[in-house]
Chain A
Amino acid sequence: MENSYLIETRDLVKTYPMGEHTIVALDKVNLKFEKAEFTGLVGPSGSGKTTLLNIIGSLDSPTSGSAVVMGRKVEGLSHKQASALRNHHIGFIFQTFNLLPVYTVFENVEFPLLLLDYSAAERRKMTMVALDWVGLADRTRSKPAQLSGGQSQRVAIARAVVKKPALILADEPTANLDAENSHHILQTMERLNRDLGTTFVFATHDEKVIDYLRRKITLFDGAVAKDERMEPQRPGGEKR
């Protein structure tokens, strides 16, 4: 059964040295994520949401315990193997969008495909499909500086989904957006999750995001305080 889950953490511990002290960011976290989940890691600042997301995304490694992502033990991956895992299977969405400023919208979305040896024609087709999904097919030549916050995050989403990864990790994706844009973004991600079967894991403390979740994992002081399956809420309390 070990590999039946997309992600599985076992007694995951992450500590950071802080002067003479040690900060425990994750404390024996045991979690399992299945394919096509739409899950949120919630909790106050410093509860370990981003740390857990980073380890799942193989951007960081645990101090002890194990994190198995798509059958690969993150703690055993070399720097190159971790890069390859991210390259092929994981998409990231960041709070501050992290768009490459000198690239156009098209080039930003195309970027992950450049690393995957797609032909120019394939890249163009896939990029335009991704931009279509997020409703920005008419802004291909714009630079990030010419976009609103909502548009920038939609570009970031298109960039994360363009290679159709199995897993998308989103760290506070709506933190810099107003309510209307947040709902727009979340609806887009929900649709991608439904249509493509992509697993979404959010780190958030935004109530708007929580309304869309089908699973909510509450972290507190680095430990799992609650793990609940939920019926997603439409904005305004409307049931899905």
Chain B
Amino acid sequence: MIIPKLALRNLLGAGLRTWLNVVVLSFAFVVIIWTQGLYEGMNAQAERASVDAALGGGQYWQEKYDPLDVFSLEDAHAIVPDSLGAMIAANRATAILVVQGTLYPKGRIHPVMIKGIDPDQQLLSLPSHFLKTGEDRFPALIGSRMAKSTGLKVGDTVTMRWRDAHGTFDARDVEIVQVMKTIVPSIDQGQVWIPLDRLRILAGMEEEAGLVVVAQGALERPEAPGWVFRDLDFLLSDIKQLVRMKSAGAAILYFVLILLAMLAIFDTQVLSIFRRKKEMGTLMAFGFTRGRVIRLFTLEGALHGVLAAVVAALYGIPFLTWFARRGWALPEAMDSYGFAIGEKLFPVYSAGLVVATTLLVLVITTIVSFLPTRKIAKLKPTDALRGRMS
């Protein structure tokens, strides 16, 4: 226990030099945890919103359904199997039919995906109940992004064209009954939602669907020949990958911050080893082995990381807690990120994030502290006492 005790004593005794390093390093700690928390929050928020509004607890896809391949959509529909039909009847799933189509807002051509959904469904937060109108109206629901790009608003009528199951083009005027404000672009951008029954009839796809969304928490995964179950890991992989890419970009910031802090510590260690040679000689004269001197000086450097963690906790915990409660109001441009974030971003600081960041900084600090001390291994006690490096 003597080495930790001496290291701490030396470190605190060094005064301002120690505290400057510690403050820089603690700043790196807080910024890394803060920005990583933002990305984790972004991820969590995007996942939660997507699950609530579009993905549910997973989806059964008709085997030809691929939302990224518009050419396959024509064939990506089939009669809902009995096993899934039973789940739909028990309100543990809801069917969605997807047909490619075109809108003609103000005479312009706007390619869209026409999606049929049961207006009575309550599995998704998508406000499908607005589609419950009389037979005399043909209701359509769009998102605010879609409304912005087409110039449509509630009450507008717009011509919608589609191709039915036999390849025949057909068209009808639909009425925009609601513009939903959603943070999930995948149910908004380029999408028009209409009642499932109406779409089935118009497209000649009675009893059919392209996908069946399973309720969150529903554990049964019945066999459905010709349908493939996609779990949330699969469905959220795009979001996760996007967040990973964006957080990788932030690594440059961490790298610069850590580099600055490590440079300060490395500098301090190198200076210490040159300035404190007599001290090393004295330690050796009193019976310290070279190994012990190396351990002492390495620990002194590494303790910068421990002190920085303590200092970071002192001002970082209140700051990060306040920030997590208050959230970060996002500019509208963030919509272009391409996934659900919302108007405010609430960071999430997981224990894993804090522990991993702390370990990372401590390990790097220890390595940086150790590197200059290797010179001590060659130090002769007599040279050290004279203040010379061998």
Contact = CB atoms under 8 A, between A and B. Distances in A.
B285 A86 contact: yes
Most B CB atoms within 10 A — which of A83, A111, A115? A83
Given A98-B281, A102-B9, A102-B14, A114 B2 contact: yes
Contacts of A239: none
Contacts of B322: none
A233 B282 CA distance: 32
B200 interface: no
A84 interface: yes
B5 to A, nearest CB: 8
Contacts of B72: none
Contact of A59 (B10, B278, B285): B285
Nearest to A95: B385
A100 B14 CA distance: 12
B290 interface: yes
A83 B287 contact: yes
A187 interface: no
Interface in B1-59: 2, 5-6, 9-10, 12-14
A123 to B, nearest CB: 11
B12 to A, nearest CB: 8
Given A87-B286, A112-B287, A98 B381 contact: no
B14 A59 contact: no
Given A60-B380, A87-B287, A98 B282 contact: yes
A80 B290 CA distance: 9
B382 A54 contact: yes
**Interface residues of A toward B: which range?**
20 to 34
A102 B7 CA distance: 11
Nearest to A81: B289
Given A59-B381, A94-B385, A86 B286 contact: yes
A84 B288 CA distance: 8
A92 B282 CA distance: 9
A98 B287 contact: no
Contact of B278 (A87, A98, A111, A115): A98
B63 interface: no
A84 B2 contact: no
Contacts of B380: 60
A16 to B, nearest CB: 11
Nearest to A88: B287
B287 A96 contact: no
Given A59-B381, A102-B9, A114-B6, A92 B285 contact: yes
A192 B13 CA distance: 32
A60 B381 contact: yes
Contacts of B381: 54, 59-60
Interface residues of B, number: 23
Given A96-B278, A98-B282, A102-B9, A84 B287 contact: yes
A211 interface: no
B284 interface: yes
Nearest to A96: B278
B289 A98 contact: no
Interface in B74-109: none
Given A60-B380, A102-B9, A83 B288 contact: yes
A24 B5 CA distance: 42
B279 interface: yes
Nearest to A111: B286
Contacts of B282: 92, 94, 98, 100
Contact of B10 (A57, A87, A102): A102
B6 A98 contact: no
A6 to B, nearest CB: 18
Contacts of A107: 9
B288 A115 contact: yes
A83 B292 CA distance: 11
Contacts of A80: 289
A60 B382 contact: yes
Most A CB atoms within 10 A — which of B10, B282, B285? B285
A226 interface: no
A94 B279 CA distance: 12
Interface string B365-390: 00000000000000011100100000
A114 B6 CA distance: 10
Interface string B266-282: 00000000000011011
B2 A115 contact: yes
Contacts of A100: 279, 282
Contacts of A84: 287
B42 to A, nearest CB: 46
Contact of A112 (B281, B286, B290): B286
A98 B384 CA distance: 11
Contacts of B288: 83, 115
Contacts of A98: 278-279, 281-282, 285, 385
Nearest to A159: B286
B263 to A, nearest CB: 24
Interface in A63-103: 79-80, 83-84, 86-88, 92, 94, 96, 98, 100-103
B114 to A, nearest CB: 76
Ordered nearest first, which 5 A-B pairs have the shortest CB separation? Answer: A102-B13, A87-B287, A59-B381, A98-B282, A92-B285
16 contacts: A54-B382, A59-B381, A79-B290, A80-B289, A83-B284, A83-B289, A86-B284, A86-B285, A86-B287, A94-B282, A98-B279, A98-B285, A111-B286, A112-B287, A114-B5, A115-B2
Given A79-B290, A87-B286, 16 more contacts: A54-B381, A59-B381, A60-B381, A80-B289, A83-B288, A86-B285, A92-B286, A96-B278, A100-B282, A101-B279, A102-B9, A102-B13, A103-B9, A107-B9, A112-B287, A115-B288
